[in-house]
Amino acid sequence: MRRLLDVVVLISGRGSNLQSIIDQTRTGALPIQIRAVVSNRADAYGLVRAQAAGVPTRVLDHRQFPSRGQFDQALMALIDEYSPQLVVLAGFMRILGRDFVEHYAGRLMNIHPSLLPAFPGLHTHERALESGVAQHGASVHFVTPDLDGGPIIVQAEVPVLAGDTPDRLAERVLKEEHRIFPLAIRWFAEGRLQVRAGQVLLDGEVRAEQGLVARPVVATPTSTPGAAQQRE
């Protein structure tokens, strides 16, 4: 019997990506154990999803801390109670500082609703429509201190259609998020990923399954700490 990978998931909202991970864990498609779901918001519906699945939940309200750094330190301490091998950001809407990101280097994964390196940050669907691009999508990447600039693991494209609104486009992108996020986590759990020269290799090479549309941006040192923010 294979050993399950211990995972902690961070959320801030409704947790639809969390649900996709839970569903594949239940079927055995994902060889992981979700040790805890942690939210910075007590009213996050994702906590209800986790509790329904029998997953322990914790709340750490960022508003109770006088500084971002103190929140990050408390969050690290909470996560480390579970000794996770992977920390997953599934709609966690807080920028995480350099110390936090470096503490989990190589085992901190995020999903972002754009084809990175295009449209880092927030409001990606609105920006995609305003720019006139023909293709939009989602990217799963390892988190580095460079905002949404970490090595890309897998991407999925969706067409931008005539008459699209941000909500319609977001709905199509979200379906792909639910597909590729568990896929990236499974590859990690199976030990199939490695990062070389800022690029993620699957089974030792760049493979078509990764759906990469651009070479990942290599993170460079920055004086402004940050991590990914995304919808869920």
Encode pLDDT of 89-139 as tens digits. Answer: 999 999 999 999 999 999 999 999 999 999 999 999 999 999 999 999 999
Number of structural domains (the chain) is: 1
How many angstroms separate the CA atoms of 74 and 70, rounded?
Answer: 6
Q: Decide if 141 is catalytic.
A: no
Preceding amide of 56 cis, omega within 30: no
Q: Is the pLDDT of residue 230 over 90?
A: no
**pLDDT, tens digit, 9 for 90 and up, residues 180-190:** 999 999 999 99
Nearest alpha-carbon partner for 18 in 42, 61, 47: 47
Instruction: Give me the chain's average pLDDT, please.
Output: 92
Q: Are 146 and 116 in contact (CB under 8 A)?
A: no
Q: Is the pLDDT of residue 215 over 90?
A: no
Residue 88 pLDDT grade (very low, low, confident, very high; cuts 50, 70, 90): very high
**CATH code, 67:** 3.40.50.170
Q: Of these residues, 112, 136, 141, 178, which one is catalytic?
A: 112
52 within a domain of the structure (yes/no) = yes
216 within a domain of the structure (yes/no) = no
CA R_g for the chain: 17
230 within a domain of the structure (yes/no) = no
How many angstroms separate the CA atoms of 145 and 99, rounded?
Answer: 9
227 within a domain of the structure (yes/no) = no
> What integer pLDDT is reported at residue 213 of this predicted model?
85
Q: Are 134 and 213 in contact (CB under 8 A)?
A: no
Domain assignment of residue 26, given as a range: 5-210
114 within a domain of the structure (yes/no) = yes
Q: Is the pLDDT of residue 218 over 80?
A: no
| Average pLDDT of span 167-195 | 98
